[in-house]
Structures are given as C-alpha cells and as structure tokens.
Amino acid sequence: MTRAKLDAIRDAAPAVLPSMLICDFGDLRSEVAKLVDAGTKVLHLDVMDGHFVPNLTYGMPIIEGLRRHTDLPLDVHLMISDPLKYARPMVEAGADMLTFHVEAVEDAVHTAREIKKLGVGVGVALNPDTAIRDLDSCLDEVDMVLVMSVNAGFGGQSFNPVALDKLKLLRDSHPDLLLEIDGGINEDTIGRARAAGCDLFVVGSGIFRADDYGVAISELDAAIAAAGEQTENGQRGAGS
C-alpha cells in the first residue's frame, strides 16, 4: 500500500526533498544512488502540462523509471489543469503522494477525496497570490499543504516571504498537517521556512548545481536544525 509511504514521509520530516526537475535524466540510476548516499529520504517530482503552467516537463514514464531504481517515497507535484485525469496513471507509475493545485480545480474537496481513494497521500498546493482561505474547504481532506514561495511553473523568481506567513497560519491552525515549501529554497531561506513551521523543503539547483550532493544537503540540514534550536530556545524563553 502506497499510503504506508505517507508514514515514511512524516517520519522523515524535517527533510530536504531534492527536486528531480534538473537532475541528469540520462542517468537516473546514478542520480538516485548519489542522492541516497547523501541521505535523501524522499524525492520530489514536478509534473507540468504546458497549460496550467507555461512549462512542459515529464509524465508517467519518468515516475515509472525512478520507481524501478528506488523504494524512496515519490512526492509528485501536479502542476496540471486536470489532476484527476492523470491521478490513477501517476499512482500506477509509482507515485506515493499526489499534490494538486487549488487554483486548477473547481472542487478541491472532491479532488482530494478521489485521489485518496487511490491509496496515496494527498497534498494541495497554492501559489503566492492565492489566499489561504481558498484552502478552508479541503484542509480536513488532505495530508499536506504545499506552500509555493514562487509562482508554479516559472523559473528565475525571487523567494516571496508571503509563504512564511501562510506557513505560520497553517501551523497554528492545523498542528498535525504536513507542510511543504517549494521555490527559492536555499541556505538563506530554509531556516526561515523551518522557523515558520515547515516540515518538507523542496530544493533543486541548491543540490544539483553543487559539486557534492552530500555536502549540499548536509548544509541545508544544518540550517534546518539551527532554526529548530532557535525556535525551541525562544519558546523556552517566552515560557520562563
């Protein structure tokens, strides 16, 4: 049951999730092996359809190819106009978590329930300009919220701090909900996201442009840990 992988994702948090968008697709086996050696616990895949977002990436064959090379949970971000049309094929290819965009569907509750019937974890994503209240109807139906700190599907954007405000609100209102952030995550921003309550941190160029994946991930992990310690110390100080 792929829903069991949801527990593995929860247990991995806080965790850096390498975004496979800019990996070497000509040598997936080696890329996965290097990421595993670097301590990766979950892989993140960005599926774009050229319609909901302007870019076109990959579909089920890449997910299936990755599944042949690893048992790690596959966290699949569907930046597509019709997530339910492709949900089952994505699960059959090996996806363990499917995240759809609230902006892409008319009925987020129905979408979340239909995906959950497939036996996988369910996430809902929102872009920086989307109000957090747009998630109100479906928060009790999903396992995770992906807060975008850049607009989905566009490259070269700066980190939008509005994501931090959304993370804080979600953490306060839904303490058991998995929270993920994507877009502009690096050593400078990852600690701020952790302090805001984030659990999962999607990183692309910060890993794959590095000479050593292990060093890159270790530095990101250290920034997460430091932010967690500062938060705990602040809470103790406030309570003393």
Catalytic amino acids? 46, 182
Distance CA 121, CA 99 (A): 8
Q: Is 182 helix (H, G, I), strand (E, B) or coil?
A: strand
Distances, alpha carbon 64 to alpha carbons 54, 127, 139, in Å:
24, 28, 29
Distances, alpha carbon 191 to alpha carbons 65, 121, 187, 236, in Å:
33, 26, 7, 19
Q: Closest by alpha carbon to 144, among 89, 87, 75, 53?
A: 75
- Residue 153, sorted as left (phi over 0), alpha (psi -120 to 50) or beta, turns out to be left
* Contact call for residues 63 and 44 (beta carbons, < 8 A): no
59 belongs to an annotated ligand binding site: no
156 belongs to an annotated ligand binding site: yes
Residue with tokens 């920086």: 128
- Half-sphere CA count of 14, side-chain side, radius 13 A: 23
Residue with tokens 């396992």: 143
176 belongs to an annotated ligand binding site: no
Q: Is 79 helix (H, G, I), strand (E, B) or coil?
A: strand
46 belongs to an annotated ligand binding site: yes
159 belongs to an annotated ligand binding site: no
11 belongs to an annotated ligand binding site: no
Residue with tokens 């991930």: 217
19 belongs to an annotated ligand binding site: yes
Residue with tokens 């974890």: 121
134 belongs to an annotated ligand binding site: no
182 belongs to an annotated ligand binding site: yes
CB atoms within 10 A of CB 52: 18
174 belongs to an annotated ligand binding site: no
211 belongs to an annotated ligand binding site: no
**Binding-site residues for a divalent metal cation, please?**
44, 46, 77, 182
**Binding-site residues for substrate, please?**
19, 77, 153-156, 182-184, 204-205
**Binding-site residues, please?**
19, 44, 46, 77, 153-156, 182-184, 204-205
